[in-house]
């Protein structure tokens, strides 16, 4: 196999970001899209110039036309379709949040192990040069000992008719966008927190439309994260250490507009150059390297499992009004 032939499992909104990335990568091609109806698959394929269509997800999984699928379904469907895709012999890139229970995450990981196929969580920002720079700052000790992370992801809907507001679909701001600060903190701190405290404000549909969490690590280190559907688009992350702090204005999305500044303990702030790279390209190229060269994925399934574990602990804490130990 020289190129990975991709199939889109659904016509989700987010596909519009991933399609150009597949086409930008020299070792991938977009060959098919599956939707719950032929009509929808056909009109989508025509718009995006995709050669083959399927009137059901099952039909695409049964076909030899694709090697890998991108799963961009509502959150509650990620686990079942990932397992089905793996069992049908397809490599899988599955959107975040990977799944809504640890039992489901474990089922997905077991299916990948059993089939020896590649499975990864689609956390695009983790692959971008900006995040690699953050990791280098931490690894090289330029920030000293990290004591605090503050990280936020807020946005507002254009319409209230959205899968993110449906409780049984895994709706809620923490599952949707709060998981970015959670994963950011995990990456910088080098693992999941020891214990967490969460606060949530539930909207009319019953999902959290605002979430604030305090995540505690060893040696008094803390991450403060928040997510919201109630306030205008805003993201930022700050990592504070004994030798200085690093601030990003767009850590997760719209990274081309991001300003990254290192404030050392003394002296002038340093404006860090972020190499330009399309935001979604890294996760696709990483899949290609894993599938075609047999290399491990950059984001491990152990890290993915801890993202879900931390979110579940935060929700448990918010519901109980008590700290939860992981
Ligand atoms: N990484 C990122 O940057 C990013 C950004 C946005 C979203 N996401 C993730 O991507 C996933 C999709 O989000 P989205 O906003 O793109 O979703 P969306 O536009 O609402 O699309 C979801 C798709 O799932 C399919 N589907 C199957 N069963 C469904 C059901 N019962 N109800 C609704 N849709 C159903 C539909 O495709 P068919 O009609 O074609 O079958 C639909 O188009 C979520 O897990 C989200 O967290 C990631």
Work out the pLDDT band at 159, boundaries 50, 70, 90. Answer: confident
Q: Which residue is associated with the tokens 């994925």?
A: 297
**Is 142 found in the same domain as 115?**
no
Q: Does residue 68 sit within a domain?
A: yes
Report the share of the chain in percent with pLDDT over 70: 100
Instruction: Compute, in angstroms, the gap from residue 322 CA to the centroid of ligand 1.
Output: 33
**Is 317 found in the same domain as 172?**
yes
Domain region containing 21:
4-122
Q: Report the C-alpha gap between 290 and 87 in whole angstroms.
A: 18
User: Do the beta carbons of residue 154 and residue 233 sit within 8 Å?
Assistant: yes
**Is 96 found in the same domain as 114?**
yes
User: Do the beta carbons of residue 251 and residue 237 sit within 8 Å?
Assistant: yes
Q: Report the C-alpha gap between 246 and 138 in whole angstroms.
A: 10
User: Do the beta carbons of residue 34 and residue 54 sit within 8 Å?
Assistant: yes
With residue 78 as reference, give the H or E element that holds it. Answer: helix 78-87
Residue ID of nearest Cα to ligand 1 atom 26: 73
Task: Give the tens place of pLDDT for each residue, 266-288.
Answer: 999 999 999 999 999 999 999 99
> Coil, strand, or helix at residue 291?
helix
Active site residue 96: yes
Number of H helices, E strands in the chain: 10, 15
Domain boundary among 64, 98, 122: 122
Task: Give the tens place of pLDDT for each residue, 119-146.
Answer: 999 999 999 999 999 999 999 999 999 9
Residues in contact with 195: Cβ distance below 8 Å, sequence separation at least 6, in sequence order: 216, 313, 323, 324, 325, 326
Pocket test for ligand 1, best of 12, 32, 92, 287 (most atoms within 8 A of CB): 12
Instruction: Compute, in angstroms, the gap from residue 14 CA to the centroid of ligand 1.
Output: 7
Domain boundary among 69, 96, 122: 122
What pLDDT is attached to residue 321?
97
Q: Does residue 136 sit within a domain?
A: yes
Taking 90 as the threshold, does the pLDDT of residue 158 lie above it? no
Task: Give the tens place of pLDDT for each residue, 284-301.
Answer: 999 999 999 999 999 999
Instruction: Please list every protein residue whose CB sits less than 6 Å from any atom of ligand 1.
Output: 10-14, 35-36, 40, 72-75, 77, 95-96, 122, 124, 163, 176
Task: Give the tens place of pLDDT for each residue, 69-100.
Answer: 999 999 999 999 999 999 999 999 999 999 99
Q: Report the C-alpha gap between 172 and 187 in whole angstroms.
A: 23
Task: Give the tens place of pLDDT for each residue, 44-67.
Answer: 999 999 999 999 999 999 999 999
Instruction: Compute, in angstroms, the gap from residue 284 CA to the centroid of ligand 1.
Output: 18
**Is 115 found in the same domain as 136?**
no
């Amino acid at each position: 196999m020289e190129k990975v032939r991709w199939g889109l499992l659904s016509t989700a909104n987010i596909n519009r970001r991933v399609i150009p990335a597949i086409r930008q990568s020299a070792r991938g091609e977009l060959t098919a899209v599956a939707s719950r109806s032929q009509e929808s698959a056909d009109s989508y394929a025509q718009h995006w110039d995709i050669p083959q269509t399927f009137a059901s997800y099952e039909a695409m999984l049964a076909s030899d036309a694709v090697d890998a699928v991108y799963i961009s379904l509502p959150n509650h469907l990620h686990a079942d379709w990932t397992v089905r895709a793996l069992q049908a012999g397809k490599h899988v890139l599955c959107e975040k949040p990977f799944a809504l229970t640890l039992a489901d995450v474990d089922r997905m990981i077991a299916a990948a192990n059993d089939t020896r196929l590649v499975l990864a969580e689609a956390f695009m920002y983790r692959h971008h040069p900006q995040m690699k720079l953050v990791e280098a700052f931490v690894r090289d000790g330029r920030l000293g000992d990290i004591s605090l992370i503050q990280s936020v992801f807020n946005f507002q809907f254009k319409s209230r008719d959205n899968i993110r507001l449906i409780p049984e679909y895994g709706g809620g701001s923490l599952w949707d966008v709060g998981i970015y600060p959670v994963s950011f903190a995990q990456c910088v701190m080098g693992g999941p927190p020891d214990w967490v405290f969460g606060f949530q404000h539930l909207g009319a549909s019953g999902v959290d439309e605002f979430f604030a969490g305090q995540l505690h690590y060893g040696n008094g280190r803390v991450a403060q994260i928040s997510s919201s559907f109630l306030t205008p688009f805003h993201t930022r992350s700050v990592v504070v250490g004994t030798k200085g702090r690093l601030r990003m204005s767009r850590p997760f999305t719209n990274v081309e507009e991001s300003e990254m500044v290192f404030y050392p303990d003394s002296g002038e702030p340093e404006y860090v150059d972020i190499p330009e790279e399309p935001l979604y390209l890294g996760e696709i190229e990483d899949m290609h390297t894993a599938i075609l060269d047999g290399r491990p994925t950059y984001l491990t399934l152990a890290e993915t499992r801890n993202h879900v574990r931390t979110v579940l602990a935060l929700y448990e804490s918010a519901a109980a009004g008590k700290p939860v130990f992981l």
